[in-house]
């Protein structure tokens, strides 16, 4: 199916943050664009704002004068809805309210031609529900841009129960023609990104609530070991806790209070206090004038760097051993069950059990568990947790070894699956469940998480890298440790494991 013809007029309704951005995208792609808002003067003001943004890009040498002029010449403010009657595609980006959006769609159906495509930029309302009251629900699709729309690559194209497949395909091709990376998703709560991303926030919030570490340490671990652009606390401070908490609540309710999506009391407390994050000057961090940014906890060791004895297959820790060897650490190998002997400590990658529990289960003394890293060859920090019998000396030896390879060690209170492993396991689990329920393809789920929230790797590609067996074991251990179905492994993970096939061939 081909994209909307460049001669087709596009109308955008709602000249707020999203509507203005979407209008700019459509005009830059060569369409004539109507921008309408029911606040008098708002559309003209938004076009002025777009002009200022484009001027900045021209001044930075990122945009030609011709491209700026062409974009601005294609943007027209519309005072009334009636002016939009000639549009081939109308995208609404008005207030997030079901009744108000339904009333607008009814008026548009009466005004526009029968073959006009109607699209909604809603981030949380069901496209099926929006279409229910319409005369031609087959002409309605979701076209979910990300903020800021001119910058963010992802567009989730949402298919409601009644959406016509050809209309969906046209909108998909149009998003591509506008330089975006569209993905296809069924109309389900949170679509792809706002659903699959929930554990990224939820698991850090839990770790904080349980006193596993402070915000700065957990954020640093997610950034420097997990490869995420930001940790959960700095990111939610940026998004705004009012917004992030509301999305979590809406997804939680939409999935009939499934505990996987349970909102956090500590985030609620910030919302109750009006500490919304950067925009209000305080959130998890303090942004007020003169406030000091807390530093992550890093252990410091003056112990001699010990040799490493690898007992059996080091598995996912193999790249770490290669890195240590490059730093002149002596590595010895002998048969065993996949553990490292470092000085007086036994060391392993966490498998989701508490270090103290695993130490009892397997008869391992002074057990230090390492957290997951996106890439052990380049990470600058690793989190670790210790069994209760671990001496300061044994821990210092492990820390000295990591320091030797330029890796800072952040201590966490002994906790199931530590930080990155727990977060990635839950992201992969949610992505697998979305796949199981036919929300989107594996390729689209991963693309959505990379292009929509800048994850360093798609959660299903991460699952392939770790292996379904590892993930199921970690989740089973988390579920056993908490006794909560929140951590139940998705059937899709068990299926991949049983069938022995990866998510991506
Ligand atoms: P906003 O509050 O910045 O802008 C909404 C605009 O719509 C306002 O200018 C308002 O005057 C206008 N409006 C309200 N009711 C109207 C009506 N009946 N007719 C015409 N204009 C009307 O909101 P924002 O952030 O731009 O969001 C708009 C939509 O986009 C919502 O559905 C939201 O869920 C969705 N969205 C928001 C994202 C974000 O990060 N802000 C990201 C993706 C989607």
Q: Are 106 and 92 in contact (CB under 8 A)?
A: no
Task: With a cut of 90, say whether residue 1 has pLDDT above it.
Answer: no
The closest alpha carbon to 76, from 66, 63, 86, 67, belongs to 86
Task: With a cut of 90, say whether residue 502 has pLDDT above it.
Answer: yes
Q: pLDDT grade, residue 116 (50/70/90)?
A: very high
Is the shortest distance between the CB of 143 and ligand 1 below 6 Å?
Answer: no
Q: Which residues contact 392 (CB under 8 A, 6 or more apart)?
A: none
DSSP string across 289-343: TTPPPPPPP-----SPPPPEEEES--GGGHHHHHHHHHTT--EEEESSSSEEEET
Is the shortest distance between the CB of 193 and ligand 1 below 6 Å?
Answer: no
Q: Which of 31, 36, 144, 241 is catalytic?
A: 144
Q: State the CATH architecture for 307-411.
A: 2-Layer Sandwich (3.30)
Is the shortest distance between the CB of 93 and ligand 1 below 6 Å?
Answer: yes
| Index of the ligand 1 atom closest to the CA of residue 147 | 40
477 three-class SS: helix
Q: Which of 121, 126, 163, 194 is catalytic?
A: 194
Task: With a cut of 90, say whether residue 133 has pLDDT above it.
Answer: no
Residues 309 and 294: their CA atoms lie apart, in Å, by 37
CATH class of 420-499: mainly alpha
Task: With a cut of 90, say whether residue 319 has pLDDT above it.
Answer: yes
Is the shortest distance between the CB of 37 and ligand 1 below 6 Å?
Answer: yes
Q: What value does the mean pLDDT take over residues 404-413?
A: 98
- 268-278 residue pLDDT tens: 999 999 999 99
Is the shortest distance between the CB of 104 and ligand 1 below 6 Å?
Answer: yes
- 292-304 residue pLDDT tens: 999 999 999 999 9
- 231-244 residue pLDDT tens: 999 999 999 999 99
- 91-108 residue pLDDT tens: 999 999 999 999 999 999
Please name the residue whose Cα sits nearest to atom 40 of ligand 1: 147
Is 9-187 a CATH 3.40.50.720 domain? yes
Is the shortest distance between the CB of 39 and ligand 1 below 6 Å?
Answer: yes
The closest alpha carbon to 270, from 245, 239, 289, belongs to 245
- Judge whether 144 counts as a catalytic residue: yes
Tell me what pLDDT residue 94 has. 98
How far away, in angstroms, is 36 Cα from ligand 1 center?
12
Q: What value does the mean pLDDT take over residues 437-465?
A: 98
Tokens of 274: 């009006």
Q: Which of 123, 250, 350, 359 is catalytic?
A: 123
Q: What value does the mean pLDDT take over residues 55-67?
A: 97
Q: What value does the mean pLDDT take over residues 1-30?
A: 97
The torsion angles phi and psi of 287, rounded to 5 degrees, stand at -105, 10
Is the shortest distance between the CB of 147 and ligand 1 below 6 Å?
Answer: yes
Tell me what pLDDT residue 96 has. 93
- Judge whether 156 counts as a catalytic residue: yes
Neighbours of 244 (CB within 10 A): 26
How far away, in angstroms, is 204 Cα from ligand 1 center?
30
Q: What value does the mean pLDDT take over residues 25-52?
A: 98
| Index of the ligand 1 atom closest to the CA of residue 18 | 26
Q: pLDDT grade, residue 55 (50/70/90)?
A: very high
Q: Which residues contact 277 (CB under 8 A, 6 or more apart)?
A: 236, 237, 238, 239, 240, 241, 270, 283, 284, 287
Tell me what pLDDT residue 505 has. 87
Predicted TM-score (pTM) of the model is 0.96
* Domain edges within the chain: 9-187, 203-280, 307-411, 420-499
Q: Which residues contact 98 (CB under 8 A, 6 or more apart)?
A: 125, 129, 130
Tell me what pLDDT residue 270 has. 98
Q: What value does the mean pLDDT take over residues 135-152?
A: 97
**Cα distances (Å, whole numbers) of residue 194 to 17, 199, 241, 251:** 18, 10, 15, 8
Average pLDDT taken over every residue of the chain? 97
- Judge whether 311 counts as a catalytic residue: no
Cis geometry, peptide bond prior to residue 148 (ω within 30 degrees of 0): yes
Domains 9-187 and 420-499 share a fold: no
Q: State the CATH architecture for 203-280.
A: Orthogonal Bundle (1.10)
pLDDT exceeding 70 applies to what percent of the chain?
A: 100
- Judge whether 378 counts as a catalytic residue: no
How far away, in angstroms, is 331 Cα from ligand 1 center?
59
Residues 100 and 457: their CA atoms lie apart, in Å, by 38
């Amino acid at each position: 199916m081909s994209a909307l013809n460049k001669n087709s007029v596009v109308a955008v309704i709602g000249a707020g943050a999203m509507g203005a951005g979407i209008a700019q995208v459509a005009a830059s792609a060569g369409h004539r664009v109507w921008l309408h808002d029911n606040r008098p003067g708002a559309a003209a003001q938004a076009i002025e704002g777009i002009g200022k943004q484009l001027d900045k890009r021209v001044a930075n040498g990122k945009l030609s004068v011709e491209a700026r002029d062409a974009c601005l010449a294609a943007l027209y403010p519309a005072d009334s809805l009636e002016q939009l009657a000639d549009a081939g595609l109308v995208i609404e980006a008005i207030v997030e309210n079901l009744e108000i959006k339904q009333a607008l769609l009814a008026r548009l159906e009466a005004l526009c031609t029968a073959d006009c495509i109607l699209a909604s930029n809603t981030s949380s309302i069901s496209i099926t529900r929006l279409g229910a009251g319409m005369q031609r629900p087959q002409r309605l699709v979701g076209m979910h841009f990300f903020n800021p729309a001119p910058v963010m690559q992802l567009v989730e194209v949402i298919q409601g129960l009644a959406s016509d497949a050809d209309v969906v395909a046209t909108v998909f091709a149009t998003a591509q023609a506008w330089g975006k990376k569209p993905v296809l998703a069924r109309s389900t709560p949170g679509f792809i990104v706002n659903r699959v991303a929930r554990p990224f926030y939820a698991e850090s919030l839990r770790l904080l609530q349980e006193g596993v570490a402070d915000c700065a340490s957990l954020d640093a671990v997610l950034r420097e070991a997990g490869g995420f652009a930001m940790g959960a606390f700095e990111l939610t401070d940026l998004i705004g806790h009012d917004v992030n908490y509301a999305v979590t609540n809406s997804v939680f309710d939409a999935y009939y209070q499934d505990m996987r999506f349970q909102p956090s009391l500590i985030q609620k407390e910030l919302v109750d206090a009006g500490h919304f994050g950067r925009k209000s000057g305080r959130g998890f961090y303090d942004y007020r004038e003169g406030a000091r940014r807390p530093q992550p906890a890093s252990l410091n060791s003056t112990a001699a760097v010990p040799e490493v004895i690898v007992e059996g297959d080091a598995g996912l820790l193999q790249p770490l051993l290669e890195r240590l060897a490059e730093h002149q650490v002596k590595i010895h190998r002998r048969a065993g069950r996949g553990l490292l002997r470092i000085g007086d400590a036994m060391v392993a990658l966490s498998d989701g059990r508490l270090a103290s529990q695993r130490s009892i289960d397997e008869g391992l003394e002074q057990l230090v568990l390492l957290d997951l890293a996106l890439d052990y060859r380049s990470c600058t920090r690793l989190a670790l947790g210790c069994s209760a019998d671990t001496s300061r000396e044994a821990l210092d030896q492990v820390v000295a070894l990591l320091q030797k390879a330029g890796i800072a060690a952040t201590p966490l209170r002994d906790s199931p699956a530590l930080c990155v492993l727990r977060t990635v396991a839950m992201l992969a689990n949610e992505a697998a469940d979305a796949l199981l329920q036919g929300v989107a393809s594996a390729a689209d789920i991963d693309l959505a998480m990379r292009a929509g929230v800048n994850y360093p790797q798609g959660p299903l590609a991460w699952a392939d890298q770790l292996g379904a067996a590892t993930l199921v074991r970690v989740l089973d251990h988390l579920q056993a440790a908490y006794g909560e179905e929140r951590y139940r492994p998705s059937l899709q993970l068990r299926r991949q494991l049983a069938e022995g096939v990866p998510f991506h061939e």
